[in-house]
Amino acid sequence: MANNKSKSVTFEKITKIFRDPQSKQDVTAVNEVSFRLEPGELVTLLGPSGCGKSTILRMLSGFEQPTSGKIFIGDNDVTFTPPNKRDTAMVFQSYGLFPHMDVFNNVAYGLRLRKVPENEIAEKVQRFLEMVGLGTMGKRPPSRLSGGQQQRVALARSLIVEPSVLLLDEPLSNLDALLREQMRVEIRRLQKSLGITAMYVTHDRVEAMSLSDRIIVMKSGNIIQVGTPSDIYRDPVDTFVSGFVGKVAFFPCEVKGIENNSCVVDIKGKIFTAPRYSDKLKVGDKALVMARPESLSIGEAGSGVEDGVVTANIYLGNSVETWVKTDLGNVLVQIDNPDVKKIWDEGEKVSLSFDPTLTKVLVDDLEKV
Amino acid sequence: MNKRFINFLLTMLFVVLVGAWIYTSVRDEFLKQSRTAQRRTVETVAAGYPEPEDVDEWLKRLADEATEYKVALVSEIPMPGEKLNETPKGDSDLAKLTESSATDPEFSKGFDNAAYEEIYRASKNWTVGTKEEQAIFFAPAVSLKTHDIEGALVFAFNTDGEQGFMRMINTLFFGAFILFAVVIWQLMMSRDPIVGFALAGLFLMTLVFVAYPLFEALRLSFIENGKFSLSIWKTILNSEGYMSALWGSLKLGCWTATFSTLVGFLFAFVVARTNAPCKKLISTMGVLPVISPPFSLTLSIILLFGNNGLITRWLRVVGLNFSIYGLPGLVIVQTMGMFPIAFLTLSGVLQAIDSTYEEASLNLSASRFKTFSSITLPLAIPGLLSAWLLVFTTSLADFANPLLLAGDLRVLSLESYIEVTGMNRLGHGAALSILLLLPTLTAFLAQRFWVAKRSYVTVTGKPSGRITELTTPLVRRILTGIIFTIVFILILLYGTIFAGCFVKNWGIDYTFSLENITEAITRSKDALFDTVTLAAIATPIAGITAMIAALLIVRRKFHGKRLLEMLLMTPFALPGTLVGISYILAFNHAPIILVGTAAIIIINYVIRELPVGIEGGIASLRQIDPSIEEAATDLGADQATVFKTVVLPLVRPAFLSSLSYTFVRSMTAVSAVIFLISARWYHLTVLIYNFSENLRFGLASVLSTVLIIIVFGAFGIMRLLVRENANLTKSVN
């Protein structure tokens, strides 16, 4: 439900090279990155710190200039447009509220720059403050607001100028867990109801999963995978992505056959058929079976693919997380509905098995990571 | 990128072509005008060629009356390539030239033209006698009666005006070209041209007003009679007088620094580390002298202990004879005036030392004295060193106090002043003040790169809430006793100045009188107005420039940042006398002539007070989240709007203190300004000096009091304004 103002964003082979002031060496922060945001879409850039995701956001907002490549907002080439001439609005990690202005004037700032008549400003600011649930806070200085309220002011300040693209730079990282969940819902609701194109940067996979239409996973300046949250979770392209977007266990295996869009593997003599597999795999390759905690189960020692010892049980109400120490490392098993299932005691010898329909076979690139 | 570069080159090519066209047409037009005028003069003069018997008198009259040209007469026009038969008459230099160059093709052509009754202008310029670049004209000397050609007249025109004009348009066009190139470059190549212009402006400012004068001063100290020579430095380094001045400066600096550090530490320790009473008064009195105008403490010392001083007279009655003039008096006055520097530095250091260390020591059953000597003092040693060095450099650069109190003691700052104003030996003055720079610079660098690195505490830390009592009541009583004595003396000194206003003739006639006040006000009206005007103009310029520079240094990456920072900060380490001397050296000749104008004084204020403002701006900007400014930019504000609506309000406290600092320092400037004042633009402090020199202590007291009131008033207003927004500063941090 994109409104008519929201625009697409296109990155064309964008490279950004920084010069490290200490070592005087060039560092490639972003390496020939291309992607496209459809109008009205919320796309998250997800990756560990230093992967170049913030640099991409800052290039889109205009605070950094790409070393090469082109950036388009809609059909306009904005590669060299200064930030104040771009139709983007950014919500900063540290909010960047003007401490010398009250909430009302913070939100009104962008409108004043656009020479909107003062009576219109008053009406519009009030409307947006109410939209973010701060209708009565107009006269307060930002320093007298809680973190979540400050975040809402920052959001209202960005949204009120009706930008073509909304940029959010880890906006929730300074909030506590509960507020973060609330704000996540809030941001998604506002973005959808205004139909605004948004780019969201985070290193928090839960945030990325719960907010995004699509996720772009990045690592050391390169895009590793682009896809919907469920694509990324269930069908990661490599061990890095699978590990970054959720807990995971890898079981070494050998590829026995690839047929009918599924992959037959051998783990310690047991044969499984996985519905998803990396297309780089050939018959005879050593590979890894990736299994999520919820697809793992625990049985008597010797019954599964890998034996181990239970080291901890963490009770979470709707599930129990059981840690099992194996030769492959510590593996997390999620047992849902724990009240009707068997929970193994700490120290018990157990064996792990998995539901092959939920797994994916990946190229064994763990050494390289 | 490349396309834009080519665009730039094309634009510049266009500018150069248009510029060259305008330049040549302006130049040709001017030369044509000036040559037509010269030709017309030649025609008129030649037409007045008299009868043969009157020729000698005519030539003599011309030589006497004509200022812009000289004339010589060749009575017999020679054949081409032949020498003259006889020496030409008229101007002897020109005659000599004509005789020696008669066979030159240009002269031959000139004679030839004259023979055909034509006026000819030589296509090049000649040197006539000692005068270079003279335009030579040839005209026929025609008898009025017979219309016969009786010879050739040779004219030499002075082309100084022409040359000057050419130089001027050359400079003008070159400057305009550079300016154009910079502006176009910024507009075409950079995304925020405003930042580019600001940077270009700062670089230009520092190069012209910091680097260039210093270079000129250094250059002049190596020049004797227009040639490179080491003679000035040889004279100075071999002269016992100058070396004793260097020694005097160092001695004075060491004593003052040592005493000031001691007193400053005492004040700082009592305020920061004990529960002594009246701490507020102590810290106020501990800062007061640093902002009080120059001469005021000296003046009151003279009033009390001078040759005719109040106390001197009493002591003389008792049979004690002494003179306050000289090293001891100077050390006392400088210590009184400069211990606040040590106090401010050290109270920052002591406050930043966490009481927990001392508690830990006491907890391990060390005695209080042991704790002080093994914990507090060692932690404060880097602070003590940097306080010492800071006072040392200030004392060395001090000019006002020695001016009145030095007596027989010779110090460098004074010596260079005497060289320049008394002996008119600018080169010597420059060399001496450069000599003064060496210890100052050494101390400055030692502080910056050696002491600062050894510091255990950062002075910016917040004062800790608790104080561990390190003194026994007895010790505390002794310490506060000493402090109150010093405070009492300070109050007494200021009181003396105030009393001096109302006494008819200090030292002789102590009857109450208001005469001094009325006389001082009438005589100082203009100077007071000048002083306030100049300071008021310099203040906003320095304040805004400092904030812009701080913003660029903190927030921007650009080439030459270190160089710019260095150039901006250099004036902080320069003794005022050096700045003053280098300014009169650099700006009393082309291309920039400013001596005698208000501009040179204002520029001097701005340049000298910028470093403190910039430091303050940098410190406060470092505490402001850059995303606040980015948020404004992102919402559509350009650089200028961001500066106006976000940066300036946020650095308000630093901005205000930079403003008041500049204002106060400009109001109380002496050392540099004494070289730069002129009959038109005078300074109050110099007037105070003049009155004191002439023993008009009453007038000096009145003016000092006026200055003190203005200065304290400015500080009071500043503090009120800063406090008004105290909430803001907290929320920014």
Angstrom CA distances, B573 to A216, B251, B435, B611, stand at: 54, 19, 13, 10
Pick among B635, B642, B730 to test the A interface (most A CBs inside 10 A): B635
pLDDT value at position B276? 78
| A211: nearest Cα among A233, A228, A194 | A228
Query: pLDDT by residue (tens digit) across B188-221?
Result: 777 677 888 888 899 999 999 999 999 988 888 8
Task: Tell me the C-alpha to C-alpha distance, in Å, between residue B557 and each of A30, A31, A64, B173, B642.
Answer: 20, 22, 12, 32, 18
pLDDT at B232: 84
Name B48's Cβ contacts closer than 8 Å, sequence gap at least 6. B58
Counting every residue written for chain A, the total comes to: 369
Kind and range of the H or E run holding A38? none
3-state class of A336 per DSSP?
strand
**Nearest CB partner across the interface for A110, out of B625, B635, B725:** B635
CB B338 within 8 Å of CB B391: yes
Q: At what angle do helices B473-501 and B697-724 cross, to 10 degrees?
A: 120
Query: For every residue of B317-385, which 3-state class applies, written as one string?
Result: HHCCCCCCCCHHHHHHHHHHHHHHHHHHHHHHHHHHCCHHHHHHHHHCCCCHHHHHHHHHHHHHHHHHH
Question: Residue B203 and residue B552: Cα distance in Å, rounded?
Answer: 12
pLDDT per residue as tens digits for the range B665-703: 898 888 888 888 888 888 888 888 888 888 888 888 999
Closest CB to B636 among A94, A99, A110 = A110
Domain A247-363 CATH (choose: 2.40.50.140, 2.60.40.4070, 1.10.3720.10, 1.10.10.10) = 2.40.50.140
| Cα–Cα dist A263/B434, whole Å | 84
* E-strand stretches of B76-148: 89-90, 120-128, 131-142
Q: Is B1 on the interface with A (CB under 8 A)?
A: no
**Shortest CB distance from A99 goes to which of B634, B638, B732?**
B732
Task: Return d(Cα B613, Cα B726) in angstroms, integer.
Answer: 19
pTM for this model (two decimals)? 0.74
Residue B15 has pLDDT above 70, yes or no: yes
Residue bearing the bigger pLDDT, B206 or B508: B206
Strand bridging mode A249-259 / A222-227: unpaired
B128: phi then psi, degrees, rounded to nearest 5 = -110, 115
Question: Among B401, B491, B418, which Cα is nearest to B685's?
Answer: B401
Extract the tokens encoding B199: 């940077």
In 3D, which of B212, B238, B234 has the Cα closest to residue B224? B234
Q: How far apart are CA B163 and CA B170, in angstroms?
A: 10
Could you read off the pLDDT of B16-43 as tens digits, one per residue? 888 889 888 888 888 888 888 888 888 8
Pick B634's closest partner by Cβ from A89, A98, A141. Answer: A89
Task: Band the pLDDT of B460: cuts 50, 70, 90.
Answer: very low
- What pLDDT score was predicted for residue B550? 92
CB contact under 8 A, B634 and A100: no
| DSSP secondary structure code for residue A339 in this structure | G
Q: How far does the CA of residue A126 sit from the closest CA of chain B (Å)?
A: 18
Q: Which of A312, A296, A314, A307 is nearest to A349 (CA)?
A: A307
CB B419 within 8 A of CB B410: no
Residue range B240-732, CATH number: 1.10.3720.10
> For chain A, where do the domains classified as CATH 2.40.50.140 start and end?
247-363
Domains B2-164 and B240-732 share a fold: no
Does residue A286 contact residue A252 with C-beta atoms inside 8 Å?
yes
CA dist B92 and B406 (Å) reads: 57
The pLDDT confidence band at residue B466, using thresholds 50, 70 and 90, is low
Give the one of A63, A113, A157 whose C-beta lies nearest to B637's C-beta. Answer: A113
Rg of chain A over all Cα atoms, to the nearest angstrom: 24
Q: Which of residues 180-219 of B touch A (CB under 8 A)?
A: 191-192
Nearest CA distance, B675 vs chain A (angstrom): 43
B555 to chain A nearest CA, in Å? 12
Q: Is A109 on the interface with B (CB under 8 A)?
A: yes
Q: Where are the alpha helices (DSSP H) in B141-239?
A: 160-189, 193-206, 212-220, 231-238
Residue B456, pLDDT score: 60
Q: What does the alpha-carbon distance between residue A284 and residue A265 come to, in Å, rounded to a whole number?
A: 9
Residue B66 has which token pair? 């004509």
User: Of B292-296, B448-452, B468-472, which one has max mean pLDDT?
Assistant: B292-296
Count Cα neighbours of B10 within 13 Å in the Cβ-side half-sphere: 7
B628 close contact with A: CB closer than 8 A: yes
Distance CA B133, CA B115 (A): 26
- DSSP result, A158-216: HHTT--SEEEEESTTTTS-HHHHHHHHHHHHHHHHHHT-EEEEEES-HHHHHHH-SEEE
CATH superfamily to which B2-164 belongs: PAS domain (3.30.450.20)
**Long-range contacts from A118-127, C-beta under 8 angstroms, 24+ separation:** A124/A160, A125/A156, A125/A160
Q: List per-residue pLDDT tens for chain A, 369 residues long.
A: 445 578 899 999 999 998 877 777 888 899 999 999 999 999 999 999 888 899 999 999 988 889 999 999 999 999 888 888 888 999 998 888 998 899 999 999 999 999 999 999 999 999 999 988 888 988 998 888 888 899 899 999 999 998 999 999 998 888 888 888 888 888 999 899 889 999 999 988 889 998 999 999 999 999 999 999 999 998 999 999 998 888 888 988 989 888 878 889 988 888 888 888 888 888 888 889 999 998 898 888 888 888 899 999 998 888 899 999 988 888 999 988 888 888 888 888 999 988 888 889 998 887 644
**B627/A92 CB distance under 8 A:** yes
Q: Does A83 touch chain B (CB under 8 A)?
A: yes
Mean pLDDT of B62-75: 83
Contact B59, B142 (CB under 8 A): no
Q: Say yes or no to pLDDT of B733 above 50.
A: no
Give the model's pLDDT for residue B467: 65
Contact B727 A141 (CB under 8 A): yes
CA pair distance B549, B607, nearest whole angstrom: 12
> Could you count the other beta carbons within 10 Å of the beta carbon of residue B461?
13
Which residues in chain A touch residue B730, judged by CB atoms under 8 angstroms apart? 143
Q: What are phi and psi of A97, to 5 degrees?
A: -70, 150
Residue-wise over A271-280: b if at least 16 C-beta within 10 A, else e?
ebbbbbbbee
Average pLDDT over residues B344-365: 81
B713 in Cβ contact with B535 (< 8 Å) = no
Closest Cα partner for B404 from B474, B496, B325, B488? B325
Domain(s) of CATH 3.40.50.300: residues in chain A: 9-234
- Pairwise CA distance, residues A90 & A158, whole Å: 6
Distance CA A109, CA A132 (A): 17
What architecture is domain A9-234? 3-Layer(aba) Sandwich (3.40)
Residues B342 and B388 sit within 8 Å (Cβ to Cβ)? yes
Q: How far is B457 from chain A (nearest CA, A)?
A: 25
The top-scoring range by mean pLDDT among A183-192, B255-264, B363-372 is: B255-264
Buried b (16+ CB within 10 A) or exposed e, B297-323: bbbbbbbbbbeebbebeeeeeeeeeee
Searching chain A, which residue's CA lies closest to the CA of residue B558? A21
Q: Distance (Å, rounded) from C-alpha B638 to C-alpha B634?
A: 9
Q: Report the C-alpha gap between A154 and A132 in whole angstroms.
A: 10
Q: Which tens digit of pLDDT belongs to each residue from B512-546? A: 888 888 888 888 888 889 999 999 999 999 999 99
Cross-chain Cβ contact B635/A89 below 8 Å: yes
Question: Which of A15, A84, A153, A164 should one mutate to test binding to chain B, selecting the residue with the greatest count of B CBs within 10 A?
Answer: A84
A143/B630 touch (CB, cutoff 8 Å), yes or no: no
Give me the count of residues in chain B.
733
Cβ of B635 within 8 Å of Cβ of A88? The answer is no
In B502-597, where does DSSP find H-type helix? Answer: 515-555, 561-573, 576-586
Q: Where exactly are the structural domains of chain B?
A: 2-164, 240-732
User: Please, which contacts does B353-357 make with residues 24 or more away whose CB atoms are closer than 8 Å?
Assistant: B353/B379, B353/B380, B353/B456, B353/B457, B354/B464, B355/B464, B355/B466, B355/B467, B355/B468, B356/B464
Å between B647 CA and nearest CA of chain A: 10
What pLDDT shows up at residue B457? 52
In chain B, the largest separation of any two C-alpha atoms, in whole Å, equals 126
Q: Which two tokens stand for residue B721?
A: 């304004």
Distance CA B624, CA A150 (A): 17
Measure in Å the smallest separation between the Cα of B578 and chain A Cα atoms.
36
Residue B555 touches partner A, C-beta closer than 8 Å: no
Closest CA to B200 of B521, B438, B549, B482: B549
Torsional sign, CA A149, A155, A158, A161? negative
Question: What mean pLDDT is predicted for residues B78-101?
Answer: 81
Cβ atoms of B247 and B412 within 8 Å: the answer is no
Q: For chain A, what is the total number of helices (H) and then of strands (E)?
A: 8, 21
Rounded distance, CA B479 to CA B278, Å?
13
Q: Check if B3 contacts A (Cβ < 8 Å).
A: no
Interface test with A, best of B634, B724, B728 (most A CBs within 10 A): B634
CB contacts < 8 A, A to B, total 82
- Tell me which DSSP letter residue A92 carries: B
Q: Supply A344's token pair.
A: 């193994």
